[in-house]
Chain A
Amino acid sequence: MFREFNVTLVCALVVVAGLISSPAFAQTPEEALAAIQSDAAKAASDFKGFSAARGENFFKTKHGNEWSCASCHTENPAAPGKHAKTGKVIQPFAPSANAERFTDPGKVAKWFKRNCNDVLDRVCTPQEKGDVLAYLLTVKK
C-alpha cells in the first residue's frame, strides 16, 4: 500500500516536473529533421541521407513556377524575408536566426504543403524537405 502510494507520488512528481521544465517548443529543429529522415527512409529503400548543398540548390532554384523558396525567404535565410505578392515581412527562416522555426510539427506540415504547392505544384518528397532543412541548419546567423 505504502509502496503503491510512493510509485504514484513519484509518477505524479515526474509528470509535474516534466511540465515545468518542458521547453516552450514541441520539438527541436534537429528532431524535426530526424522525423523527416524516418519518412525518407520509409519512402525510398535506397535513401542515402540528406545533403545541405543539394538543399541550398533546391531552395534557390525555381521549379517551373514563378517563385523559388528564396523569392520570399530571400537568398539569405538568416535575414527577414518578404512575401513576394503582399510585401508582408516574413521572419527569418534559419533556426539560428529564429528560434521558433521547425519547433511546431503542425506548422512544419502546413507550410511545407502550402509552399511546395506554390513553388512546385506538388508536395515535396521527404528527401527534398530534409535536404532543405539540412541546409537551413548550416546557415549561421
Chain B
Amino acid sequence: MSKYYKNFPRRLVSALLVMGATMSIAQAGDRVEKYSGENRGKPAQPSQVNAKFQQECSTCHIAYSPGLLPAASWRKVMSGLDKHFGSDASLTDQEDKEITAFLVNNASNRWNASTAPLRITETAWFKHKHDSHEIPQAIWKNPKVKSPANCAACHQQADRGDFSERNIKIPK
C-alpha cells in the first residue's frame, strides 16, 4: 500500500503521458481518416474572389467554391471544359489560365486522399453530409431541388461559398 503511494506521482505522470500520446495518435488518425481523406477545405470563398472565375463559372450554375475539391480535381475539370458534364464550356486560353490558377490556389487544403473526383457530389465529405440520415430521399426528388449539384436549392448563400447550417432552407 505504502509502496503504491510512494510511486503515485510517477505513476500519475506516466499514466497522463500514455493518455496524452494515445489521444494525439487518435487525433492524428482522425485527421487522416476523416472522410477517407476526401475532406473539403474551408467552405467560405476567399475574400478576394477572382472576377473572371465569378463571371465565367456562374453563367450556367453557381460558381462552386474552389475549396470543395482538391487541386487535382480542378486541373482535371479545367482541362476538359470542351466536354463539361455534357456541355461545351470552353474558354479562351487567357481565361483558362487565370481561372485554373485561382481554383488550384484555393482548392481544399484538407484533402489527403490521392483521389480527384470530377463531381463534388462524388466526394466522401459530400456523401457523408448528405446521407439518408441527414437528407431523406424524397427531398432529392423535389423538382425545386432538381439535382444534388444544385447547392443553392437548399444552401441559400451557396453562391457566396457559405454552406453554414443557419443558411439551409429545404424547399417544400
- On A, residues with C-beta under 8 Å from B are 83, 85-88, 106, 110, 113-115, 117-118
Interface residues of B in 66-124 (CB under 8 A from A): 82, 85-92
- Count A-B pairs with CB separation below 8 Å: 34
Mark the stretch among B8-16, B25-33, B43-51, B146-154 that contacts chain A. B146-154
| Cα-based distance from A87 to B86 in the complex (angstroms) | 15
Report if B138 contacts A (CB, 8 A).
no
| Cα-based distance from A114 to B56 in the complex (angstroms) | 13
- List residues of chain B with CB within 8 A of the CB of A88: 59-62
With contacts A83-B61, A117-B82 known, what are 17 further pairs, Cβ within 8 A?
A: A83-B60, A85-B60, A85-B87, A86-B60, A86-B149, A86-B150, A87-B146, A87-B150, A88-B61, A106-B92, A113-B88, A114-B87, A114-B88, A114-B89, A115-B88, A117-B88, A118-B88
| Cα-based distance from A119 to B60 in the complex (angstroms) | 16
- On B, residues with C-beta under 8 Å from A are 59-62, 82, 85-92, 146-147, 149-150
| Cα-based distance from A87 to B60 in the complex (angstroms) | 8
Chain B's nearest CB lies how many Å from the CB of A64?
A: 15
| Cα-based distance from A113 to B82 in the complex (angstroms) | 10
Closest to A66 in B: B86
Closest to A114 in B: B88
Q: Check A114 against B150 for contact (C-beta < 8 Å).
A: no
| Cα-based distance from A110 to B96 in the complex (angstroms) | 13
- List residues of chain B with CB within 8 A of the CB of A83: 60-61
- List residues of chain A with CB within 8 A of the CB of B86: 85, 118
A-B contact pairs, 11 of them (CB 8 A): A85-B85, A85-B87, A86-B147, A88-B62, A110-B92, A113-B90, A114-B87, A114-B89, A115-B88, A118-B86, A118-B87
Closest to B82 in A: A117
Chain B's nearest CB lies how many Å from the CB of A114?
A: 4
Closest to A86 in B: B61
Closest to A117 in B: B88
- List residues of chain A with CB within 8 A of the CB of B60: 83, 85-86, 88
| Cα-based distance from A63 to B149 in the complex (angstroms) | 28
Chain B's nearest CB lies how many Å from the CB of A90?
A: 8
- List residues of chain B with CB within 8 A of the CB of A117: 82, 88
- List residues of chain A with CB within 8 A of the CB of B92: 106, 110
| Cα-based distance from A71 to B146 in the complex (angstroms) | 17
- List residues of chain A with CB within 8 A of the CB of B85: 85
Pick the 5 closest A-B CB pairs, nearest first: A117-B88, A114-B88, A86-B61, A83-B60, A87-B146
